[in-house]
Structure 1
Amino acid sequence: MTILCTPSQPGDDLVVALGTGVLTAATLPRVRELLEQLPAERLVVVGPEIAFEEAAGFATDLRLTRPLVGVVAIRPVLDVETYAYAMQAGIRELVATGDLPGLADACRRSRRLSESILLPAEAATASEAKVITVFSAKGGCGKTTLATNLAVTLHANGARRVCLVDLDLAFGDIAISLQLEPRRTLVDAVAMGENMDATGVAGLLTSFRPGLECVLAPVEPGDAEKLPAAVIDDLLGVLRGMFDYVVVDTPPQFNEHVLRALDGSDHHVLLTTPDLAAMKNLRLTLDMLDLLSYPKATRSIVLNREDDRVGITAGDVEQALRSQLAARIPNNLEVAASFNRGVPIAAEKPSHRVSVAIQKFGALRMDGPQVPQVQTPKAPPRRWRAVGSRSGRGA
């Protein structure tokens, strides 16, 4: 069912776009009365005749009283200022007047989010999400491929709620690898300021499938510079209460955003491939993590694209890194083919040997007791100073 707030009689085409079971209310106070009578209601659509300030205030109140209820606002004019105001207030979707297909899509997305989000009240009796950051100091090692397939594996066909975060602000590939349309991205979190909560973050999510949501990287040039690193602390803190697992994909560089993610993570998945440049960069990464006092128990080293034909074996990698491998993922062209199709191989072919390797890694390292829960520190300044002269993309 949907509650439509409009003082005029809605047309048949509008009712069809909203789906079956539409209740109308002439004013927002009347909508509040209906919500009290209908505790299971999850969607309110505010018509263009309602003043936007009034709609925003209504959405702000719902964030505290009924956080699962999504608000979709129909507006005659859509601009950057309106979007920012809507995001800050907690309006999930804005739709232009007359855009009936867009309205239908917005309502479906809002309902799907309401169904998949774990309420803070429910989360109080559940354990917090484990945050897993996937990192490599060298580009091209397969971080995005591993992150997406690990997220699919942990999702376990809907058994768990998983969020995949694309923290590669300049060159993020999660959207294109999963063939998602980035209607909202990380940069939209800036408008929430200090008001970031589950309702606001829900508006950032793009669904890959029910229970597997994504926070996508910015797509416009210059957007990456608009995102303060402190937003990452707040975002991961909120996502912990909404999901069972949060998987963070990162750029191949130590920057402040990445360090915030590492600080807020329970586990670091460090990736290498069987080539000298990747191994050298990972050795430097391990030294850096030691310098910054990250516990060794929170690390897993993964050898991706293992292939003895290149002349470097898994034993060679372990000897060079002076560390044991947690997983060995075989090289296979089908992985790249599935990536190009927009379907992770773990979802498309769960019995494939690459999928099985990732499944075993997820079951062993992510579900076991060896992944400690950590407290997120509040941006320790010494870390930013220590890494400042060594940030940048690896060779």
Structure 2
Amino acid sequence: MDIQTLLVQGHIKPDEAYNAVTLPIYLTTTYHSPKFGERGKYAYSRGANPTREYLESLVARLEGGSYGFALSSGMTAIAAALAVLKAGDKVLITQNVYGGTVDLLNTFFKDFGLTYELVDTSDVKKLEDHFDKNTRAILIETPSNPLLDITDIGAVSKAAKNHGAITIVDNTFMSPYLQLPLELGADIVVESATKFLSGHSDVIAGTVVTNDAALAGKIRAFQRLVGGISQPFDAYLLVRGIKTLSVRIDRQVENTAGIVEFLRKSPAVEKIYYPGLPEHPGYAVNQRQAKSPGSILSFLLKPGFDIGRFFDSLKLITVGASLGSVETLIQHPATGSHSGFSPEQRKAAGIRDNLIRLSVGIENAGDLIEDLHNALGASKL
């Protein structure tokens, strides 16, 4: 079945009891035991819930995996993936990874003896120099947040296996519609379902998918014991959002192409980071492993243009956190998504103070370009 059909129709009928077309929302916390001393399929919703279970099996199918988990946020999903490791283990991480991932390691996981190193995962040969006897995982984003670096998932996964490590891929920027890390060799794929899977800025959730039974057992234990579950109504909204994933992303990618072309000609723009440009270092790899370059881009303002004026002059585009929604969202990484990085880490990762990240929505492309044009003009000193 083509993924466009699977997104809309789902993998099984959502309601076997009454044949409802829409997924039922089971708000119950507990379930009646059929007989003394026996437990049915469902006992307590922290462990399993029919609405969440449908979402989990659907996401697993979309990602090409065997085991799916729906959690309370993208950060909970990252925590669940990292929780398969143990004290003393080391993780190699894409150097301009989402700042929240680094915050999580610097605070929570630091006290549990998990260490990490930020490295350039786009260069597999250099990456291998960073492996040591404690390296047990590589966590990559491709495209990365916010510089859209591209990592060869297949090559990194192969290198990780050669060193006895697992590969975790944060696939949030692409979603399973555009990229399938498990099919490329990754062991775990993580999504902030808040973003493209939901697509409407009204759900916070995360997903984790794997084909490995042992890893799935650890992730399931984390989900059940910590209780970081996606709630039934959120699961329902996610399934509803997933139905339009392909049409939303197709429109967003189309809009992005027009905006990139506008920015390339703008006298206010110093550089554009977008894997759809032939001059992007990861262009060929991204073409090989992804369906398209996606709808997230970043760009640098030239000297002589004030970034504060630019943001304050926007009228249509929403200034705010998050990405992947139907509305266009724009953010300043240095003070937003990567404010948790130290100045040294931001410098090493190439996250400059004049960097802007744009998540393109489904509005009229001409209106978006006009808003950018006016704001860039107003930013000139």
TM range (shorter): under 0.3
TM-score, with normalisation over the residues of structure 1? 0.24
| Structure index of larger Rg | 1
Higher helix content, 1 or 2: 1
TM-score, with normalisation over the residues of structure 2? 0.25
